[in-house]
Structure 1
Amino acid sequence: MNTRIETPLQPTLTPAQREVFFRDGFLIMRQLASVERLGAMRSVALEHTESHVAPIEYEADVAYPGAPASREAAGGDTPRRLLQAYDRDPLFADWAADARLTAIVAQLLDSDTVWLSRNHHNCVMTKSPRFSTATAWHKDLRYWAFESPRLVNAWLALGDETPANGCMRLLPGTHRMSFDQEHMDADQFLREDREDNAALIDSAVNAELAPGDVLFFDASALHAAGANTTDQRKLSVVTTYYGADNAPVPGTRSARLEAVRVREPDHA
């Protein structure tokens, strides 16, 4: 991906940067988190992963193609996500409400008020050198319930992210597309056996990240990720936001845990 953007202390998106996001459905901002912050978060993430600190999701839990059949199977108890990052450690809560991060999200949502969802993402994604499974093409909104589809995800790389260790891949412009049911399988993954879908998949872009880079992407954008084929664990912090013109549907999974207001109109 060739969208290299340096972030000032008070980031204001240029018209060109906003156009990239609204056209493609994603945008990368470089070096948004400091080396010190990254080191501290990575240390906690590694400790919690190696000690299996709950709540946690395992490779067997996702039941993706190629995943271990159960937690008792070989690799089945490999951590995939450290859940509830905001409540897990103050380091992750501070990052989720970071002024530079939320300033960018506010501009992408066109909302001075920004809410963090504690029900979706709000996690540390981890890919083990062994037993990591690929994720097929999907939109995050497939199982979410909000008044509006306008949500933005922020994906912070705690280390290098490349095709070799399963970096994110995105299909530009798909946040503005709707798909008939025949294009999706029963689990709402894009069917790769269809010729018309294959042509779309050919447009895929790899979101290669360095430590501290953040990938912002529309929750309606189709994305996927490969397995980790390296000998190093990959760690990423993922948070989801919505603006003042949106809210989770009451009584649904999206409203189970109370949201956190991380930016207000009078924010300095």
Structure 2
Amino acid sequence: MTARALNRYAPAGHRLDDLRSRFDQDGFVILESALTREEVDGLLAETVRICRGELGDIQGSVPAGPRDGDDDVMRRFLCIHYPHKLSALMLDTMRHPAIVEPLTEIIGPNLKSMQSMLFIKSEGRPGQAWHQDEMFIPTRDRSLTAAWIALDDATVENGCLWVLPGSHRRGVLYPNRDHDDPRYDCTVESYGFPYSDADAVPVEMAAGSVLLFNGYLLHKSLPNTGRHGYRRALANHYMSAESLLPWTRPEEGRNMAQADFRDIVLVAGRDPYEYKGVEEVRSPRIRPDREGGCDR
């Protein structure tokens, strides 16, 4: 798909009145050039520091030695979960006004985030099969929304995201299963949905642009087939602060309707559940990517 064809998914000048209607219709919008070149370069430099272990431990990673080059170190990683717990810059980006302001228009004035993921997909590394984020991160009001920040130009060749426009509208979570497709990492794949690959749209974006998409939207990515280089991206997940987050089992004596994961970051407005406090539950870790097999 050409940049001109994709422009219908990018509200002109990021007008907020147009953004909500397009998001409701398609399940995603593109915020073109939301981050400056300087901001992107800062995040790329921070990515190297994170991969080298300079900002803290990452569960499942191999420590970098003083003789290891930056490229050699980065190529060990496919995805790092919770980089905002390692990096003040990544945390600041989670709160970036150019991202949060449109999100408050889409979700509401009170906004919290519960997850960040730093993707470092070098040449030959796999993508992720069709899936819906809400299957992994359940919200009680269907408000889950991802902000996928391109740190490199994302192209079909290097493994950009593909989406099925409108697939969020039914509000249905489709079944999932394990797979053995070498194109994808160890994450399960969704199936049984009334769409085909012919309906899919590749989301090619320039570095610094941001893709906002609904938690029910079916999306995937393919391997980086480029001969050299990365497809790096920072993805943050957000939701309404009014909604409980039943991401883990409730404590004994409480029913599932009261389950509320509190390892969160408030990024806009007020948290009506602030009396519960905030907990440190999750730690930075790497995602299995088929090298050495999948832990199932």
Is structure 2 residue 193 aligned with structure 1 residue 190? no
Secondary structure of the residue that 2:21 maps to in structure 1? helix
Structure 2 counterpart of 1:241, from 223, 226, 238 = 238
Is structure 2 residue 10 aligned with structure 1 residue 13? no
Is structure 2 residue 232 aligned with structure 1 residue 216? no
CA separation of 1:219/1:56 partners in 2, compared to 1, >3 Å: closer, same or farther? Answer: farther
Match of 2:36 in 1: 34
Query: 1:142·1:188 contact (CA, 8 Å) conserved in 2?
Result: no
Separation in structure 2 between the aligned mates of residue 166 and residue 147 of structure 1, nearest angstrom: 32
> 1:86 deviation in Å?
1.5
- Which digits, 9 at most, give the CA deviation of each residue in 1:57-90, with x for residues without a partner? 67xxxxxxxxxxxxxxxxxx83111221222111
Query: 2:132·2:173 contact (CA, 8 Å) conserved in 1?
Result: no
> 1:30 deviation in Å?
0.4
Structure 1 unaligned residues grouped into runs of 5+: 59-76
Is structure 2 residue 121 aligned with structure 1 residue 127? yes
Superposed CA RMSD in Å reads: 2.7
CA separation of 1:243/1:232 partners in 2, compared to 1, >3 Å: closer, same or farther? Answer: same
Q: How many residues align?
A: 233
> 1:209 deviation in Å?
0.7
What is the TM-score when the length of structure 1 is the normalising length?
0.77
Query: 1:57·1:80 contact (CA, 8 Å) conserved in 2?
Result: no
- Which digits, 9 at most, give the CA deviation of each residue in 1:65-117, with x for residues without a partner? xxxxxxxxxxxx831112212221111111111122111111011x1111111
The runs of at least 4 consecutive aligned structure 1 residues that moved more than 6 Å come to none
What is the TM-score when the length of structure 2 is the normalising length?
0.70
Secondary structure of the residue that 2:196 maps to in structure 1? helix
Match of 1:80 in 2: 78
Query: 1:86·1:92 contact (CA, 8 Å) conserved in 2?
Result: yes
Separation in structure 2 between the aligned mates of residue 50 and residue 138 of structure 1, nearest angstrom: 30
Query: 1:57·1:82 contact (CA, 8 Å) conserved in 2?
Result: no
Match of 1:115 in 2: 112
> 1:141 deviation in Å?
1.5
Match of 1:262 in 2: 267
Query: 2:139·2:239 contact (CA, 8 Å) conserved in 1?
Result: no
Query: 1:57·1:81 contact (CA, 8 Å) conserved in 2?
Result: no
Separation in structure 2 between the aligned mates of residue 157 and residue 13 of structure 1, nearest angstrom: 21
Separation in structure 1 between the aligned mates of residue 89 and residue 224 of structure 2, nearest angstrom: 26
Separation in structure 2 between the aligned mates of residue 91 and residue 251 of structure 1, nearest angstrom: 28
Secondary structure of the residue that 2:147 maps to in structure 1? strand
Q: How does 1:57-96 map to 2 (within 5 A)?
A: 78-96=76-94
Secondary structure of the residue that 2:152 maps to in structure 1? coil
Match of 1:70 in 2: none
CA separation of 1:233/1:106 partners in 2, compared to 1, >3 Å: closer, same or farther? Answer: same
Is structure 2 residue 48 aligned with structure 1 residue 54? no
Query: 2:110·2:242 contact (CA, 8 Å) conserved in 1?
Result: no
Match of 2:165 in 1: 172
| Letter in structure 2 aligned against 1:31 | S
Structure 2 unaligned residues grouped into runs of 5+: 1-5, 62-74, 179-186, 251-258, 271-296
Separation in structure 1 between the aligned mates of residue 202 and residue 213 of structure 2, nearest angstrom: 13
Separation in structure 1 between the aligned mates of residue 232 and residue 33 of structure 2, nearest angstrom: 16
Separation in structure 1 between the aligned mates of residue 168 and residue 159 of structure 2, nearest angstrom: 22
Query: 2:160·2:202 contact (CA, 8 Å) conserved in 1?
Result: yes
CA separation of 1:38/1:208 partners in 2, compared to 1, >3 Å: closer, same or farther? Answer: same
CA separation of 1:79/1:24 partners in 2, compared to 1, >3 Å: closer, same or farther? Answer: same
Identity of aligned residues (%): 21
| Letter in structure 1 aligned against 2:235 | V
> 1:251 deviation in Å?
4.2
Separation in structure 2 between the aligned mates of residue 180 and residue 229 of structure 1, nearest angstrom: 29
Match of 1:102 in 2: 100
> 1:188 deviation in Å?
5.6
CA separation of 1:108/1:57 partners in 2, compared to 1, >3 Å: closer, same or farther? Answer: farther
- Which digits, 9 at most, give the CA deviation of each residue in 1:119-155, with x for residues without a partner? x3x121110113x112111101213232222111000
> 1:56 deviation in Å?
5.5
Secondary structure of the residue that 1:161 maps to in structure 2? coil
| Letter in structure 1 aligned against 2:210 | V
| Letter in structure 2 aligned against 1:176 | R
| Letter in structure 2 aligned against 1:247 | L
Secondary structure of the residue that 2:216 maps to in structure 1? coil
